Every structure is written in C-alpha cells, then in structure tokens.
Amino acid sequence: MNKKDFILGFLTCICFILLLANFNCGRTLSRLGFGDQVLTLPKDFKSMVSVSLHKEPNGDTVKDLTYETTEGIFKSVEYRDKPWHLEGSVRWERTK
C-alpha cells in the first residue's frame, strides 16, 4: 500500500465517522445537501399553537411544539437534535 492510498483511506474513514456522528442531529445533514430534516407530528395532532427554538449550553437546539389534540387538549412536545436524549411532553389543563 502506498502513502497516497493510505491517506485517501484515512480521510474517507474520518468523513464517514463525522457523517455518522451527525446522523439525525438536527439540520446538519440538511445543510450538507442530504434532504430535509423530518420531525413526526404526534398522532393526536389537530392544529399548531406555537413553535419555539432554543439553544442549550452544549450546542443542541431544542424545538418545542405546542398543539391542540383531536380531543381539544393542549400539549407541548419537545424535539431534540440527538436521538439519545429523552424528549418530554406537557399536557395543559385548566384548574377547576
């Protein structure tokens, strides 16, 4: 194996590792031309109330969707850039 083949293989491995590290990480892959990021709406989604975005100290962007359900309940759902973070939800209820 000559030096040129080694360097080409090494750079290919580095690019592959970086691509895998960014898999399903927000819009990073979309910015590189790999298509749109798709976030699945909840099954009980009826209409959108609001969407908010904020950055966390580690650089991740958290997307919060507040929506009305098909039953007339209002909920907020959190979407994160990395698939291994826990995503939470909130159900809004009126007190009696």
Convert the pLDDT of each residue in 10-30 to its tens digit.
888 887 776 666 555 555 656
3-state secondary structure the chain: CCHHHHHHHHHHHHHHHHHHHCCCCCCHHHHCCCCCCCCCCCCCEEEEEEEEEEECCCCCEEEEEEEEECCCCEEEEEECCCCCCCCCEEEECCCC
53/32 same-domain check: no
With a pLDDT cut of 90, the percent of the chain lying above it is: 19
Average of pLDDT values for 54-75? 86
Q: What is the span of the domain harbouring residue 16?
A: 1-36
58/89 same-domain check: yes
67/52 same-domain check: yes
For the chain, the average pLDDT equals 79
Q: How many domains does the chain have?
A: 2
51/14 same-domain check: no
Q: Per-residue confidence at 46, pLDDT binned at 50, 70, 90?
A: very high
1/32 same-domain check: yes
68/79 same-domain check: yes
pLDDT higher than 90, residue 68:
yes
Task: State the pTM of this model.
Answer: 0.58
